[in-house]
Amino acid sequence: MKKIAIAATLALMLVYGQTVSAAARQWSIDSAHSNIYFGVAHIFSEIRGQFNEFTAEVHFDPGNLEQSRFSFQISTDSIDTNIAKRDKHLQSADFFDAAQYPAITFESKNIRDAGNGLYEIHGTLNIKGKDRDFLLPLSLAGIKEHPAAKDKEVAGFNGRVTIDRLEYGVGDGTFYKKGIVGKDVEIFVSLELLSSK
């Protein structure tokens, strides 16, 4: 009887342990319907652009945030402001130095449910070799059966955050001091993610 009780206890511990450590649901990015946009002041106007090439690895379950995580890798040479000459300048050592630093990366450390569908993704942002603690706020637009992809569900996230580009060495401050290019850059992340049902 004692052996049966011990065996039952061990079984429960095993099941409980597997429940706690189970990986959160994995999602793949729908690159045709996901974007990372940015906006920055130029004298009196605002210049907008985007990064055309980026990847994301997402494990997300609102009921299992401990095992959920987000990671992004953005190709700096894919910056696109619709002006080729300006894009080439942004890729140069004056700004992103894409030849030496080909990627911007973000790795989450923990995720907090802030309520009303907002999730605070705490992690590390690396730009030009500089690691900084970073908070990416993402609002969950919803999770539902994909209306155009059989046996798939789709999740949507949107978020805005502002960063100081000079903190990461994106520019040396010359254009900012002259009043040409602002130092604060607004980032807008819009994601559609896919997962099998």
- The reported pTM is 0.86
- pLDDT tens-place string over residues 66-115: 999 999 999 999 999 999 999 999 999 999 999 999 999 999 999 999 99
The burial of 102, by beta-carbon neighbours within 10 Å (0-12 exposed, 13-18 middle, 19 or more buried), is given as: middle
The predicted pLDDT at position 13 comes to: 45
The burial of 42, by beta-carbon neighbours within 10 Å (0-12 exposed, 13-18 middle, 19 or more buried), is given as: middle
The predicted pLDDT at position 22 comes to: 85
The predicted pLDDT at position 21 comes to: 60
pLDDT in 10s for each residue of the chain, 197 residues: 444 444 444 454 444 444 446 899 999 999 999 999 999 999 999 999 999 999 999 999 999 999 999 999 999 999 999 999 999 999 999 999 999 999 999 999 999 999 999 999 999 999 999 999 999 999 999 999 999 999 999 999 999 999 999 999 999 999 999 999 999 999 999 999 999 98
Altogether, the residues listed in the chain come to a count of 197
The burial of 104, by beta-carbon neighbours within 10 Å (0-12 exposed, 13-18 middle, 19 or more buried), is given as: buried
Alpha-carbon Rg for the chain, nearest whole angstrom, is 21
The predicted pLDDT at position 110 comes to: 98
Contact 162, 184 (CB under 8 A): yes
What percent of the chain is helix, strand and coil (3-state, nearest 5)? 25, 50, 25
Q: Which of 27, 24, 195 is nearest to 110 (CA)?
A: 24
* Phi/psi at 145 (5° precision): -65, 135
Contact 51, 80 (CB under 8 A): yes
Side chain identity at 100, as an amino acid letter?
A: Q
Distance (Å, whole) CA 139 – CA 132: 22
Contact 104, 132 (CB under 8 A): no
Q: Which of 140, 147, 128 is nearest to 189 (CA)?
A: 140
**Angle (nearest 5°) at CA 78 between 142 and 164:** 75
